């Protein structure tokens, strides 16, 4: 190949290469198309802005679409060991005496289970499984938010939940997300829950995202929040190192469990 190709032609071929190899570096682009590093970066940046790939340090990787999310009871069995480790690591960030908001989802539920021995602790939640995990413990005060029950997630969402969220505050928020990408930030695939999750993020001083490696480098249909809203990501050891490095470059603390 040579540099006689136009930018659209190069970019089309870049996407074809990514479809096969899932990853490409700036150096490879320079060699393949006989262009400068500046031109290769401009092509990648243009494709990233169109949401067609994900920029990482030194190149790009394919942007995968997040598949439809299974019900929480089914997801508890998926990546179970990783979720337990992530939950333990997230719980370790909570100090005794703090107020913490725990969102819905199977990974957050593991954090709730890891917090059962904390003394004292105040937990605010819209998750029925989290309520059940912490109910009856003398050392933990549980504040439950009502609303419309989403059956698949066993979580309370909607206008009533969001009104209640406006009345509370937390030192830390531990919440999951459907997908995370460098270009699109946090995304979800169910808009009504996304609106509630946005209200949750506003209730906390520190935002901790818990997500196993299958959620990284992907995007779902509904935008939840930009990456700038995240303080800490807790994930597992199978997470791609270049993606984690890119998060660190943006000032996000990354904990690998």
User: Are 57 and 168 contained in the same domain?
Assistant: no
Residues 75-112: tens digit of each pLDDT: 556 678 899 999 999 999 999 999 999 999 999 999 99
Q: What is the pLDDT at residue 71?
A: 56
Please tell me which residue, 255 or 52, carries the higher pLDDT value.
Answer: 255
What dihedral do alpha carbons 240, 19, 38, 182 form, nearest 10°?
Answer: -40
Res 89: pLDDT: 98
Beta strands, E only, 29-117: 53-56, 59-62, 64-65, 99-102
CATH number of residue 83's parent domain: 3.40.50.1360
Q: What is the pLDDT of residues 134-157, one digit of tens each?
A: 999 999 999 999 999 998 899 999
- Joined together, the tokens standing for residue 100 give 């913490």
- Same domain? For 127 and 236 the reply is yes
pLDDT over threshold 70, residue 1: no
Max CA pair span of the chain:
72
Q: What are 229-249's pLDDT values in tens digits?
A: 999 999 999 999 999 999 999
Helix (H), strand (E), coil (C) string for 104-124: CCHHHHHHHHHCCCCCCEEEE
What is the structure's pLDDT at 199? 97
pLDDT in tens, 180-200: 999 899 999 888 899 999 999
Domain presence at residue 14: yes
Asked if pLDDT for residue 31 goes beyond 80, the answer is yes
For residue 4, what pLDDT is reported?
Answer: 72
Please tell me the pTM assigned to this model: 0.74
CB atoms within 10 A of CB 62: 17
The mean pLDDT value of the chain amounts to: 90
Same domain for 191 and 235: yes
pLDDT classification of 72: cutoffs 50, 70, 90: low
DSSP state letters, 223-252: EEE-GGG-SEEEE-TTS-HHHHHHHHHTT-
Which residues pair with residue 209 across a beta bridge?
A: 175, 233
222 pLDDT tier (thresholds 50, 70, 90):
confident
Same domain, 41 and 116: no
Whether residue 79 is found in the same domain as residue 57: no
Q: Taking residues 24-35, report their average pLDDT.
A: 92
**55 CB contacts (<8 Å, ≥6 apart)?**
44, 45, 48, 182, 183, 246
| Whether 130 and 220 share a structural domain | yes
Q: How far apart are CA 244 and CA 140, in angstroms?
A: 33
- CA 108 to chain CA centroid, nearest Å: 12
Q: Residue 32 sits in which domain range?
A: 7-62
Tokens of 146: 């009502």
Same domain assignment for residues 17 and 128: no
State how far the Cα of 232 lies from the Cα of 247, in Å rounded to an integer: 10
Residue 48's pLDDT is what? 80
Position 66 scores a pLDDT of: 52
């Amino acid at each position: 190949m040579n540099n006689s190709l136009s930018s659209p032609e190069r970019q089309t071929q870049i996407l074809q290469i990514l479809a096969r190899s899932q990853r490409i570096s700036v150096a490879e682009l320079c060699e393949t198309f006989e262009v400068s590093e500046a031109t290769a970066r401009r092509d990648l940046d243009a494709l990233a802005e169109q949401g067609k790939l994900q920029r990482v340090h030194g190149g790009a990787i394919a942007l995968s679409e997040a598949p439809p999310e299974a019900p929480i009871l089914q997801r508890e069995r998926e990546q179970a060991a990783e979720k337990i480790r992530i939950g333990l690591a997230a719980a370790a960030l909570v100090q005794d005496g703090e107020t913490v908001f725990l969102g819905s989802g199977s990974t957050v539920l593991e954090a709730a289970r890891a917090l059962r021995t904390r003394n004292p602790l105040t937990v605010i939640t819209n998750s029925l499984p989290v309520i059940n995990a912490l109910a009856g413990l003398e050392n933990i005060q549980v504040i439950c938010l009502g609303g419309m029950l989403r059956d698949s997630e066993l979580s309370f969402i909607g206008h009533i939940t969001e009104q209640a969220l406006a009345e509370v505050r937390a030192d830390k928020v531990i919440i999951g997300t459907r997908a995370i990408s460098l270009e699109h930030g946090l995304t979800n695939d169910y808009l009504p829950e996304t609106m509630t999750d946005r209200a949750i993020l506003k209730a906390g001083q520190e935002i901790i995202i818990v997500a196993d490696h299958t959620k990284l480098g992907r995007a779902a249909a509904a935008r939840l929040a930009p990456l700038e809203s995240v303080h800490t990501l807790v994930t597992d050891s199978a997470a791609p190192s270049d993606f984690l490095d890119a998060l660190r470059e943006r000032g996000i603390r990354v904990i690998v469990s």
